[in-house]
Chain A
Amino acid sequence: MELLLTNLAHGFGVALSLQNISFALLGALIGTAIGVLPGIGPVATISLLLPITFGLPATTAIIMLAGIFYGAQYGGSTTAILLNLPGEVSSVVTTLEGYKMARNGRAGAALATAAIGSFFAGSVATVLVAASGPLLTQVALSFGPADYFSLMLLGLIIASVLAQGSVIKAIGMVVFGVALGLVGTDVQTGQQRFTFGIPELSDGIGFVPVAMGMFGIAEIILNLERPEARSVLTTKVGSLFLTREEFKRATPAVLRGTLVGSFLGILPGGGASLAAFGSYMMERKISKGRHLFGTGAIEGVAGPEAANNAAAQTSFIPLLTLGIPSNAVMALMVGALIIQGIQPGPRMVEAQPDLFWGLIASMWVGNLMLLVINLPLIGMWVALLKVPYKYLYPSILVFCSIGVYSLNNNVFDVYMTVLFAVFGYMCSKLKLEAAPLLIGFVLGPMMEEHLRRAMLLSRGDWGVFIQRPISATLLGIGAVALLAMALPNLRKGKEKAMAE
């Protein structure tokens, strides 16, 4: 406990330095600004802004990216409530009750509930991350290569099971992502793989061109093709203050949401959207206002919003302790860390205490900032909502182009982004999800390394994966998850939940 406090104090020392706090603020501001722009979710926002952070020191860069992430997430809730337009999957449930509240003239109250609920959940989850991080790191250090491989495999399986649409297609995309990750120089023999003699490919396909092409540019093309998806703001915000009655109903929902979200966020492949869904289901079943659902029940905003923010924090746990991204946003964080020259994993606590504890402390700082910048400045965000898409897309395009070029000062990356944009567009037409591909792409090289090491140690015996207890357990969970999806009832349940 004492050690935890010392560490947290150290973290706050890092996070509250003038440079870090100003970049956290800047990140949250930009993240919110871009997150409220219709049609741009957190993944697109982060990949768009990733190049801006390259010039910063590693700790500051990650703190800023985390700020962007929270901001974008919160911005997504704002559009969900005011426009009935979820910026991303995790705010889909917020549209259900939030937009109804807005139609009833309680948009301000819904926004305030979302902000306060998120702040409370974020604070609790931050403490949780700080407490469990070092413990899990200890566990992770006892992992052998075989255990690591199984853990990553489990992460990939769960990520694809929870993806939207068909599980088989999602696994197919994960696998292709792993394959894309293998392009470049083979670490052990130095042989060039799949590079076609192009020197730029010998370091592997760039992470940013893939993310930006598939999430940024392809999204623009798809948005332009469906003009009806963009809508206009008609509702008024109204008073931000909650009535006593609303406050009484929202409080327990926030508490439950925090609990559900913190737990579901830790799961590999879980994260904010699963947490929001879970909390919404729970509120509809057990909250006092359950009979009001469908007419603008405040519980339906408070619970899911608290849950998705708690999950957004706790999904950092697998990343910080094991180096494994649990969703597409965390895959972007891994990409950012690697570009900064830091290999995420259990050694990060020892090797980069500033980064580890600074990031945790800045989670709380970032949440506080969100509260501060969101409620008083709500008028400004509402004004941003009114920016028409015809002015937005040229701006996004230009920012993407400059950003991707400035990675290596090479136009090659610009053309790669174009190719991945076309690829992303095709995938989207074929309902092949891009998010699993990104996770596979990040994990691919690590998996190969661990697999090779594990097989070398076991002298070529594949049995090692079931002989080691940790590895066997992890693989067992993965198998159960896959089998569960093969059962028609469960699959239908998932489809139904996703459809809602």
Chain B
Amino acid sequence: MRINHRDVVAGLFLVLLATIGLFLNMDHNLGTARRMGPGYMPWMVFLLQAGLGALVIFVSFGKRGERVEVVKPEGIDIVRIVSVLMFATAAGTLYLTQYGGVRADKVVTFTIMAGAIAAGAIALWIRSPETDGTMAAWTQGEFVAFVAAMVAGVLAWYFIRGAGGYFSQGYNAVGIGMLVGFLVLAIPPGWRYLGLICACMCIFGLFLEKLGFYLALIGTILLACLAERDHIRKPLGVLGLTAFLLVLCWFVFIRELDIRVNLWPT
């Protein structure tokens, strides 16, 4: 069968987001058309979105629609789907054990599981429609890294949030979880840029309030430079760039805009 594979995934993506939204919206009072409650507009919007997503899928199967890139679905093997499902269940269970006794919020639990399944399923297919070079179907390494990143990120967040001090403050535990996840994700070449660039911003978030403006910048720039192979060969260029950016950011943000931020470690 000839289908526009990318559109199928895009449609699924829209439907899944809408489904999550509709579930979350169960908490809100719909009200009547005359006196709309907080849930009325979200309810309409998500229903419309789910419908549109279904339409996207429908059109991608027919003769109509974009027929530019028709890719044979590949790589949908049972093992991968099952392992993603298992991961989702694990994440859901983890969540339940954590809040299970205190507030067993089934809707949220369900949403998180659905979200994990959705993310897994979408991420599984998101690359296969690409036909240009590095963007071919998922490699084994990319798949393993994706699952490992999710597991490592969740575990890191789970264990570090109770560590006390810096780790229990604000969003630091979330940041560390994200950082670990993105760094693991960056191991296979296909995820390299996505993982590294996102990790850079996490580093910035983690460093800024504790270690200060300058160290946060240095950390972010150095990690960012890892993404480009040229930089690894020419460390002098990285040094120059770091110095230049430090001066520029000091001038723009500290001297001119005077933003309130720690400059040095506290």
- On A, residues with C-beta under 8 Å from B are 52, 55, 165-166, 168-169, 171-172, 175-176, 178-179, 182, 186, 188-189, 191, 193-194, 196, 217, 220-221, 224-225, 390-391, 393-395, 397-402, 405-406, 409, 411-412, 414-415, 417-418, 421-422, 425-426, 429-432, 444, 447-448, 451-452, 455-456, 459-460, 462, 488
Contact = CB atoms under 8 A, between A and B. Distances in A.
A460 B40 CA distance: 13
Nearest to A217: B197
Given A168-B52, A175-B48, A394-B245, A430 B13 contact: yes
Interface string B207-231: 0110000001100110011011011
15 contacts: A168-B52, A172-B49, A179-B42, A179-B45, A193-B42, A194-B25, A217-B198, A221-B194, A401-B204, A401-B205, A405-B208, A426-B13, A429-B130, A430-B126, A451-B36
Nearest to A401: B204
**Interface of A (DSSP majority class):** helix
B84 interface: no
Contact of B178 (A217, A221, A415, A447): A415
**Interface of B (DSSP majority class):** helix
B41 A448 contact: yes
Contact of A397 (B10, B55, B66, B197): B197
Nearest to B68: A495
B126 A460 contact: no
Contacts of A456: 34-35
Nearest to B36: A452
A432 B52 CA distance: 13
A137 B36 CA distance: 29
A172 B50 CA distance: 8
A481 B171 CA distance: 46
Contacts of A462: 33
A455 B217 contact: no
A409 B261 contact: yes
B34 A401 contact: no
Interface stretch (B74-82, B86-94, B160-168, B249-257): B249-257
A432 B13 contact: yes
B202 A418 contact: yes
Nearest to B69: A431
B7 A166 contact: yes
B62 interface: no
Nearest to A429: B126
A455 B37 CA distance: 12
B176 to A, nearest CB: 11
Interface size class of B (residues with CB under 8 A): 35 or more
A67 to B, nearest CB: 17
Contacts of A217: 197-198, 201
Nearest to A499: B68
Interface in B6-47: 6-7, 9-10, 13-14, 17-18, 21, 24-25, 28-29, 32-42, 45-46
B174 interface: yes
B261 A406 contact: yes
Contacts of A175: 45, 48-49, 52
A303 B2 CA distance: 42
Contacts of A224: 193, 197, 227-228
Given A168-B52, A172-B56, A186-B38, A394 B221 contact: yes
B59 interface: yes
A415 B108 CA distance: 21
Nearest to B216: A401
Contacts of A220: 193, 197
Contact of B41 (A171, A182, A391, A398): A182
A168 B29 CA distance: 29
B260 interface: yes
A156 to B, nearest CB: 11
B175 interface: yes
Interface centre among B108, B224, B260, by most chain A C-beta atoms within 10 angstroms, is B224
A405 B249 CA distance: 13
B59 to A, nearest CB: 6
Contacts of B25: 193-194
B194 A425 contact: yes
Contacts of B257: 52, 55, 406
B10 A169 contact: yes
Interface in B62-111: 64-66, 108
Given A191-B28, A432-B13, A168 B56 contact: yes
B245 A395 contact: yes
B243 interface: no
A394 B225 contact: yes
Given A194-B25, A431-B7, 17 more contacts: A165-B66, A168-B59, A172-B49, A172-B52, A178-B45, A194-B21, A224-B193, A402-B249, A406-B261, A411-B175, A414-B204, A426-B122, A426-B123, A429-B127, A430-B9, A432-B10, A459-B34
A179 B171 contact: no
A172 B46 CA distance: 10
Contacts of B216: 401
A456 to B, nearest CB: 6
B53 A431 contact: no
A406 B259 contact: yes
A455 B253 contact: no
A389 B24 CA distance: 42
B167 to A, nearest CB: 14
B134 interface: yes
Contacts of A421: 197-198, 201
A378 to B, nearest CB: 24
Given A193-B38, A415-B178, A166 B208 contact: no
Interface string B120-155: 001100110110001100000000000000000000
A460 to B, nearest CB: 3
Contacts of A401: 200-201, 204-205, 216, 220
